[in-house]
Chain A
Amino acid sequence: MRWSPLARSECRKVVTSKGTWILTVFIVLWGFRPTYAGWDAVGRNLTVGYVQIGVSLFLPVGALLLSYQSLIGERTTGSLKFLLGLPLTRTQVLWAKVTGRTLGIGAAIVVATFVLAVIGLLNHGMFDMLPFVGTLLATLVFVSVLVAIGICISTVTHRTVTAATTIFGYVLVTLFWSQIVTTIYTAVTGVPVDPYDAPASGPLFLALRLTPDGAYNVLTNWFLGVGNSTELFHIVYTKLAPGVSVNAFVVEAAFGGPGPWYLHPVGSILVLLVWLAVPLGLARRVFTRGDAI
């Protein structure tokens, strides 16, 4: 493929960046969280849970920070003129950037996952391979989604400060997504939402899992077999434990069963794919139309 040298170059740039390895260290240090709740929830698969914990907090911010300058930075410094002078279409330039950065950040995440796996193996013994592989694959898809979002922001904005502000806005919205959703839900339906005793509303639970972060947690909780929720695995387990009250939205707790079909965890794959396709499509549309510099 003609664009593969550029993709390799992008990958090398990410892999040789200090930020990438700081992200890796943060994921490992934050992820390794041996708790009784975690052990009670998934036993030896607590090791897999470490990956979910570390990735959920640090990967979104880290991957976006490692991607948002990829195009606007080159436009600002003028190096984009060299890239656009290569025998590549603008779509191929964009594709090479997404692929290269995904592979670079993905490689760092694989390292973090395997470090956590070794730590978990030594501490708790052998874990199940199915949830481990499933979580690793979901994490890599999550990486590609975040890179696509970062590069989309980098493409559609014209100033670095605007791109950085947009990233900050995205992080804030996803961080407070459940509050945003419940506020809107209450305003529209007039039904107050108590997270300790959430209403059995399909649309409410569907909206909660529409962010990439929420979809990732739903998917990995499914692999871990703890329950259907956008919360971290040990919180889901605690919520479903008898006699415990926690402010978490868990499908089984609200519906007393699996809930409507569209809340099945498999749907989260579709959510992630939409988050991959829409930013890429938007970035391509903007980058291939009009002036590129």
Chain B
Amino acid sequence: MTDVDTAINVDGLTKQYGDVRVVESLNLTVKQGETYGFLGPNGAGKSTTIGLLLDYLRPTSGTMRVLGRDPRTEVVEVHERVGILPDRYGLYTDRSARQHVALVVETKGGSDDPKALLERVGLGDAVDQNAGTFSAGMEQRLALAMALVGEPELLILDEPFSGLDPHGVRLVREIVAEEAERGAAIFFSSHVLGQVELVCDRIGILHNGRLVAEGTLRELRDGAEVVADATMEDIFVELTDARVDEGGDKR
């Protein structure tokens, strides 16, 4: 598969803190236009992997290509084509939702209307409201609006359902579907397994920093020795429980 066909291509990626390997020899490919669910228990290394893809963190070894470019040396070219919703982020409590989105629009040199983006994520009534007054769900919607600026070719969403009520969860799912329909690749990590099952073309399961399973839901079901109608949760528990004794807890 060439760089043109892949949104993300990771080869032998390792991130080590002291003696602890948080991500270990990770190989991963996400195709253009694909919706890829990146699952794993707490501390599996999902956010670290995303941090490496976005150049928040630097790898100990291994190579990465995001939209055919190295995020470490071509961060500007990568980030102008990628929409990012990070995990455990903070907003500027003294700025409005509009100002948050406008900063991204202006830096990307785009022409998006911040109000329209905020309306799309259900914050039409809070466009000029200070983000310091937002609930967790509103913060998550605002962060999603920022990720959608510039119709990115790739959306990297780290726990996009976090803090959302059922309406918000449905909204994110619908937006993911719309973006996929537009042709964007979507790479997201989540604990909300039922939603992953609904929206993902392929799923990768990370455990103790290693990719322990990857494929479509059907392929995972076949490989996990579970019953034929097993849910995503059944598969996840089976795959990660089976490997608990193979290594200690990792980030």
Chain B positions 47-91 with a Cβ under 8 Å from a chain A Cβ: 51, 54-58, 75-80, 84, 86, 88-91
Q: Which residues of B contact A81 (CB under 8 A)?
A: 56, 84, 86, 88-90
Contact B79 A86 (CB under 8 A): yes
Q: Count A-B contacts at CB 8 Å.
A: 78
Interface size on B, residues (CB 8 A): 31
Tell which of B2-10, B99-107, B223-231, B241-249 binds the partner.
B99-107
* Inter-chain contacts of B58 with A (CB < 8 A): 289-291
* Closest chain A residue to B17, Cβ basis: A291
B251 contacts partner chain A, Cβ-Cβ < 8 Å: no
- Distance, CA A231 to CA B146, complexed state (A): 51
Q: CB within 8 Å of B: which of A73-127?
A: 74, 77-79, 81-82, 84-90
Closest to B83 in A: A85
| Min C-beta distance of B46 to chain A, whole Å | 15
Size of the A side of the interface (Cβ < 8 Å), in residues, is 25
- A82-B86, A82-B89 known; A87+B57 contact, CB < 8 A: no
Check B76 against A88 for contact (C-beta < 8 Å).
Answer: yes
Binds B, one of A2-10, A161-169, A220-228: A2-10
Docked pose: A275 CA to B74 CA in angstroms: 31
Q: Is the CB of B103 within 8 A of A5?
A: yes
Q: Answer yes or no: B173 CB below 8 A from chain A CBs.
A: no
Q: How far is the CB of B130 from chain A (nearest CB, A)?
A: 12
Nearest chain-A residue to B73 (Cβ)?
A89
Q: Which residues of B contact A175 (CB under 8 A)?
A: none
Given contacts A16-B94, A87-B80, are A6 and B107 in contact (CB under 8 A)?
yes
Q: How far is the CB of A249 from chain B (nearest CB, A)?
A: 44
Interface contact B79-A2, CB-CB below 8 Å:
no
Q: Which of A207-234 contact B (CB under 8 A)?
A: none
Q: CA separation between A293 and B90, bound complex, in Å?
A: 13
> Within the assembled complex, what's the spacing in Å between the Cα atoms of A82 and B84?
8
A88-B76, A89-B76 in contact; A78/B107 too (CB < 8 A)? Answer: no
CB-CB nearest in chain B for A84: B56
The CA of A142 and the CA of B187, in the complex, are separated in Å by 47
Most chain B CB atoms below 10 A, which of A3, A289, A292 = A292
Interface centre among A77, A84, A86, A88, by most chain B C-beta atoms within 10 angstroms, is: A86
Task: Select one of B80, B103, B108 contacting A9, CB under 8 A.
Answer: B103
Per-residue CB proximity of A277-293 to B under 8 Å, as 1/0? 00000000000011111
Given A79-B92, A87-B107: A293 and B51 interface contact (C-beta under 8 Å): yes
B109 at the interface (CB under 8 A from A): yes
Whether the pair B84, A85 counts as a contact (CB closer than 8 A) is: yes
In the complex, chain A residues whose CB is within 8 Å of the CB of B106: 5
Query: How far is B96's CA from A16's CA once the two chains are assembled, in angstroms?
Result: 14
Partner pick for A78 among B54, B79, B88, B100, CB 8 A cutoff: B88
Known: A5-B106, A82-B89, A85-B84. 18 other contacts (CB 8 A): A2-B76, A5-B107, A6-B103, A79-B90, A79-B92, A82-B84, A82-B86, A82-B143, A82-B146, A84-B56, A86-B103, A86-B104, A87-B76, A87-B78, A87-B108, A90-B75, A291-B58, A293-B57
Query: Can you show 8 pairs from A to B with CB atoms below 8 A apart?
Result: A5-B107, A13-B92, A82-B104, A82-B146, A85-B86, A86-B107, A291-B56, A293-B51
B interface residue numbers (CB < 8 A to A): 51, 54-58, 75-80, 84, 86, 88-92, 94, 99-100, 102-104, 106-109, 143, 146
Which A-B residue pairs are the 10 nearest by beta carbons?
A77-B90, A78-B90, A5-B106, A87-B80, A85-B84, A81-B86, A87-B79, A78-B89, A79-B90, A291-B57
